[in-house]
Amino acid sequence: MIKIWSWGVVIFGAMFFALPLIGMAEFSLSMRRGVYSLDAYWVVLADPNFQATFGYSVIMALATIAFGVLLVVPTAYWVRLKIPAARPWVEFITLLPLVIPAIVIVFGYIRLYNTSSFLPMTGSVMGTNLLLMFGYATLSLPYMYRSIDTGLRTIDVATLTEAAQILGAGWVTIIGRVILPNVLASVLSGAFLTFAIVIGEFTMAALLDRPAFGPYMQILGANRAYEPAALAVIAFGLTWACMGLIGLVTLLSKHTQAAKR
């Protein structure tokens, strides 16, 4: 009896996820009346705006990931090594982006860094891009920090640091050659989440008026019928491809096998 119920719950949950996806995929294939076709996909992929905005968002995502790794790995490492008592506080700070809406952050940015401020970052395209990247990094901070911190927990940070130090290594070498490679799987999962957040982000990019993928999806969704569904399926597929890649990398990096045994 219990078994039937638990299967029922599983099936209900699966339907909860699967049905909208199936519906969306089905709809995206229905551009030509009466038969399934990939017409909507060709339209989307051929749209130069799609290529431009998607390319822009990918570059922004990569920049955000690089910045996030450079910021979070040394921070989480330092907190674990030197000020473990501060860990709850740092964790709290990294959680703040979850409770502060993106729109609040971006309004703050615009107020602080507008063209008549002391640091007119919104005055230039590069400045605005930089501002957007910082915004993205803030949004992804909770996920990035958490996954890297979890990764650091699996290695003996203090002893490995001392072992590297006594062999003559400085801080940059320690972080770059000892700490980072050993938490690479966690960094990648953080990076993947960051990628997903940046690709789908709408508010910040729209308010800073940058040609990102999020606003493009919104414009397309407001003006077309089948193409947005096709776009969503493409984005979904890309996300899953990313996830598969991460799994592959984790599988292929030999030394992490020890942790799994």
Partner 1 sequence: MAFLNLENLEKSFGETRVVRDFSLAVEQGEFVSFLGPSGCGKTTTLRMIAGFETPTSGSIQIGGVDVVNTRPNQRNIGMVFQSYALFPNLTVAQNVAFGLRVNGVDKATSAARVDEMLSMIGLGSLGARYPFQLSGGQQQRVALARALAPAPKVLLLDEPLSALDAQIRVSLRAEIRAIQQKLNITTIYVTHDQEEALSMSDRIVVMHKGIADQTGTPKEIYGRPATRFVASFIGTLNQLEAKVADSQSGQIALDDQIITLDRPIGHANGATVALAIRPQALRIGAPVTGEVSMRARVIEAHFLGAVVRLTLSVGYTQFSVDAFNRADTNLPEAGTDVVVAVAASDVLLLAD
Q: Residue 35 burial by CB count (10 A; 0-12/13-18/19+): exposed, middle or buried?
A: exposed
Interface stretch with partner 1, choices 65-73, 90-98, 142-150, 174-182 (CB under 8 A)? 174-182
Q: Of the two residues 3 and 261, which places its CB atom closer to partner 1 in the complex?
A: 261
Tell me the two tokens of residue 42: 């060709």
The nearest distance, CB 229 to partner 1, in angstroms, is: 43
Instruction: Kindly state the smallest distance separating residue 256's Cβ from partner 1, in Å.
Output: 8
Residue 167 found at the interface with partner 1 (CB under 8 A):
yes
CA gap 8, 112 in Å, rounded: 53
Distance CA 40, CA 27 (A): 10
> Using the rule CB under 8 A, is 181 a contact of partner 1?
yes
In the complex, minimum distance from the CB of residue 75 to partner 1, in angstroms, rounded to a whole number:
21
Q: Which of 165, 218, 239, 250 binds partner 1 (CB under 8 A)?
A: 165
CA distances to 1, 7, 22, 148 from 12, rounded to whole Å, are 17, 8, 15, 34
Q: Shortest gap between Cβ of 242 and partner 1 (angstroms)?
A: 23
Residue 182 interacts with partner 1 (CB under 8 A): yes or no: yes
Q: Which is nearer to partner 1, 53 or 189 (CB)?
A: 189
Site membership for partner 1, residue 170 (CB under 8 A): yes
Q: Which is nearer to partner 1, 239 or 256 (CB)?
A: 256
Nearest by Cα to 140 from 196, 82, 87: 196
Strand locations in the chain (E): none
CB of 81 to partner 1, least distance (A): 12
The residue within the footprint of partner 1, chosen from 63, 90, 160, 206 (CB under 8 A), is 160
Is 84 an interacting residue with respect to partner 1 (CB under 8 A)? no
Identity of residue 250: T
Closest to partner 1 by CB, 131 vs 164, is: 164
Q: Contacts with partner 1 in 226-255 (CB under 8 A)?
A: 253-255
Q: Residue 174 CB, nearest distance to partner 1 (Å)? A: 9
Q: How far is the CB of 85 from partner 1 (least distance, A)?
A: 15
Q: Does 164 bind partner 1 (CB under 8 A)?
A: yes
CB neighbour class for 82 (10 Å; exposed up to 12, middle 13-18, buried from 19) = exposed
Question: Contact, 106 vs 208, CB < 8 A?
Answer: yes
Q: How far apart are CA 84 and CA 145, in angstroms?
A: 15
Give the angle subtended at the CA of 245 by the CAs of 150 and 95, to the nearest 5°.
35
Which are the contacts of 211, defined by CB distance < 8 A and separation ≥ 6?
52, 53, 56
Could you say whether residue 3 binds partner 1 (CB under 8 A)?
no
Residues that bind partner 1 (CB under 8 A): 155-156, 159-160, 162-170, 173, 177-178, 181-182, 184, 253-255, 257-258, 261
